[in-house]
Amino acid sequence: MTKQSTRQRDIISALPTHLRSFVQVQDYKAYTPRDHAVWRFLMHQLRFQLGETAHPLYLEGLRRTGISIEHIPSIDDMNASLEHIGWKALGVDGFIPPAIFMEFQSRRILVIAMNMRTIDQILYTPAPDILHESAGHAPFLIDVDYAEFLQKFGEIGMKALSSKQDEFVYEAIRHLSITKENPHATDEETQEAERRLSDATTANDNSSEAALLARLHWWTVEYGLVGDLSDYKIFGAGLLSSLGESRNCLDDSKVEKKLLTINAIEHPYDITTEQPQLYVTHSCRHLSQVLEDAAKGMAQTRGGASSVRKAIASETVSTLVYNSGIQVSGIVSELVIDAMDNIAYVRTTGKTQLAWNGEQLIGQGIDFHSSGFGSPVGHVNEFSRCLSEYSIDELRFAGIEAGAPAILEFVSGVVVDGNLITIERRDQKNILFSFKNCRVTDVAGAILFDPDWGQYDMAVGTEIISVTGGSADPTTFQLHDPPTEKTTARHWSESDQLLFKVYQALRDLREKQSIEVGSLQQLHSDILEHHADEWLLVFELYELMILQGSATKDAEPLLSQLPEITGNDESVCQLVAQGIERVIAQAENL
């Protein structure tokens, strides 16, 4: 095990168990010399193109977060730089579940897809790759206000209520990205993956909190502009890692610019095409204010019956947080209210967990509550305060004592009648009453719990103050398993390996302090004889010759050869033309 991989494993071992399985240690040797050449080409072009249009911190941020223009970054080099600003970086395999992504972000961990886009997808990759994830997201972490905004987004995002349809869309997107990245996938397999995503997207009304928050993330973190409507700079990672869109987005006649407000969540986005409108934020503080406005309307902030209804509509595991601090996690299936919309009783279906402060209560996990859970909410008759606030002596004086029969008559009309076994306390609060031989009825006398069903556990609280997505303690109630479908491993032929050696030879020559003319000429002859159809290799040779100076004359014929190699591929032709423009500008400044 290398020293570098040991560092990564130390960070992984410090994670909670439910996050570790999503992380992979970077195998730096897996990147080919051509991968590094693709990285280098794109990063040089982006730096050249974004010098005046990106936020001024962009280039400084690249340097201060351990990201080189010349080669794919090492996760360990990034961590050595990020630790000075309180962040870390870890590798993952492509798309991971949005809630997991947000939890990493809340922990100030930047997750980075390990794949590097191929030369065939140099302008656009359907899957997240290391260029977008590192060079796009990391630079602005050096801004304290932006880093705090990103962390807060993670904290809010990981608790957003999602839906079953959201999960189907995520799975379909991941499957399509893997299929499109697989060189062996057939047209039929790609078309089927596209149909699957289309069906999942059509079936999703995008009204869940997670879906709406994803839009805000898209229009800010991924595709945000900063400044004002007449003078703005790029800071969104999606724009910073796209040569085409970072240029095209500046055309106000084609891309509408709007001032960022919370209303941005009303506008959906299409990941397969350039965006028709973008949003401009005044500052990082403005970003945080818009995020705060979004949080105000979410169930995690509002609580109450309306938030419980959101949880029921989601049909996914949610967590109800009582004002006593106890947390009930499960698929919320039933809500009983009074005439003023106050909660009288809530019920979950299937596996349910009881926790406090994010830690499962002993004996109160999904094995014990495998068929659901139900409990009253509200004040008990003749008790002026929540039962959680009474001392054990005060409860005993009122006739409520462990080991004795107890009848709790709630103001709502719910009655709990049984033998009280235990009172669970945390932080000097009563959070859970457990009964045996217990019957629970509603105001009409209907049975809510029968003694034959076993032990009855009653969560204590007069209000549901927060409703969040996911389980309270995911280490013992894990909802997201690592994807079984992995990104396709690349296998290289013998001819590929020979090609990569030429890429490496070109890199070795470039990195020398002085280049012997004979070595350059020999490499020139080898490329023209054996690899003249590899446009990036020919371009790198042209670039080296021009910037080396003494070989400028030999480089000129390559200008006519490059268009022949790119053929009818208009996007690559444009890419090469932009590269030549950059090389000429560099040469003039030497």
Which among 377, 378, 321, 379 is positioned nearest to 353, based on CA atoms? 321
Dig out the tokens for 160 from the structure: 């957003």
**Cα(316)–Cα(210) distance, integer angstroms:** 12
Q: Tens of pLDDT along 224-246? A: 999 999 999 999 999 999 888 99
| pLDDT at residue number 1 | 43
Q: How many CA atoms lie within 13 A of 134 on its CB side?
A: 35
pLDDT above 80 for 526: yes
Torsion angle defined by CA atoms of residues 248, 249, 254 and 256, in that order, rounded to the nearest 10 degrees: 180
Supply the DSSP symbol for 380: B
Lowest mean pLDDT among 163-167, 385-389, 565-569: 565-569
Reading the block at residue 115, the tokens are 């794949």
Confidence (pTM): 0.93
Strands (DSSP E) found in 413-455:
415-426, 429-441, 447-449
pLDDT in tens, 16-46: 999 999 999 999 999 999 999 999 999 999 9
Spatial distance between the Cα atoms of 224 and 106, rounded to a whole number of angstroms: 20
Which residues, other chains included, contact 542 with Cβ-Cβ below 8 Å and sequence gap of 6+? 555, 558, 559, 562, 580, 583
Of all residues in the chain, the percent with pLDDT exceeding 70 is 98
At 18, list the tokens: 């439910």
Q: Strand 88-92 relative to strand 109-113: parallel, antiparallel, unpaired? A: parallel
Which tens digits make up the pLDDT trace of 344-370? 999 999 999 999 999 999 999 999 999
pLDDT at residue 395 in the model? 97
* DSSP conformation letters of 334-347: EEEE-TTS-EEEEE
Q: What Å distances lie between residue 573 and 33, 239, 562, CA to CA?
A: 22, 21, 8
Distance CA 351, CA 338 (A): 27
Tokens of 246: 């970072």
User: How many CA atoms does the CB half-sphere of 376 hold within 13 Å?
Assistant: 27
φ, ψ for residue 540 (rounded to 5)?
-60, -35
Secondary structure of 175-192 as H, E, C letters = HHHHHHHCCCCCHHHHHH
- How many CA atoms lie less than 13 Å away from 529 in the CB half-sphere? 7
Rounded Cα distance, 164 and 203, in Å = 10
Tell me the pLDDT band of 550, cut-offs 50, 70 and 90. Answer: low
pLDDT tens across 552-565, in order? 677 777 877 887 78
Question: What mean pLDDT is predicted for residues 495-504?
Answer: 95
Q: Is the pLDDT at 254 greater than 90, yes or no? A: yes
How sure is the predictor about 527, in pLDDT bands with cuts at 50, 70 and 90?
A: confident
Give Rg (Cα) of the chain.
29
> What letters, b where the CB count within 10 A reaches 16 and e where it falls short, cover 59-80?
bebbebbbbbeebbbbbbbbbe
Question: Can you tell me the distance from the alpha carbon of 73 to that of 67, in angstroms, rounded to the nearest whole number?
Answer: 5
Of 388, 438, 389, 390, residue with least CA distance to 414: 438
Confidence (pLDDT) at 120: 87
Name residues whose C-beta falls within 8 Å of residue 433's C-beta, 6 or more positions apart in sequence.
387, 406, 408, 416, 420, 422, 423, 424, 457, 458, 460
CATH of 3-162+208-287, picked from 1.10.150.120, 3.30.70.1450, 3.30.70.1290, 1.10.800.10, is 1.10.800.10
Class of the domain covering 317-469: mainly beta
φ and ψ at 354, to 5 degrees? -110, 130
In the chain, % of residues over pLDDT 90: 80
Q: Are strands 343-356 and 326-337 parallel, antiparallel or unpaired?
A: antiparallel
Encode pLDDT of 172-206 as tens digits: 999 999 998 888 899 999 999 999 999 999 999 88
* DSSP conformation letters of 285-302: HHHHHHHHHHHHTSHHHH
Mean pLDDT for all residues in the chain: 93
pLDDT confidence of residue 16: 94
Tell me which of 161-170, 207-216, 406-415, 550-559 is least confident.
550-559
Neighbours of 588 (CB within 10 A): 7
User: Which pLDDT does position 484 carry in this prediction?
Assistant: 87
Whether residue 551 has pLDDT greater than 70: no
Give 430's strand partners.
425
User: Which tokens go with 302?
Assistant: 């509002």
Rounded Cα gap, residues 268 and 265, in angstroms: 7
Q: Which residues of 496-513 are buried (b: 16+ CB within 10 A; e: fewer)?
A: eeebbebbebbbebbeee
- For residue 134 the two structure tokens come to 């590192």
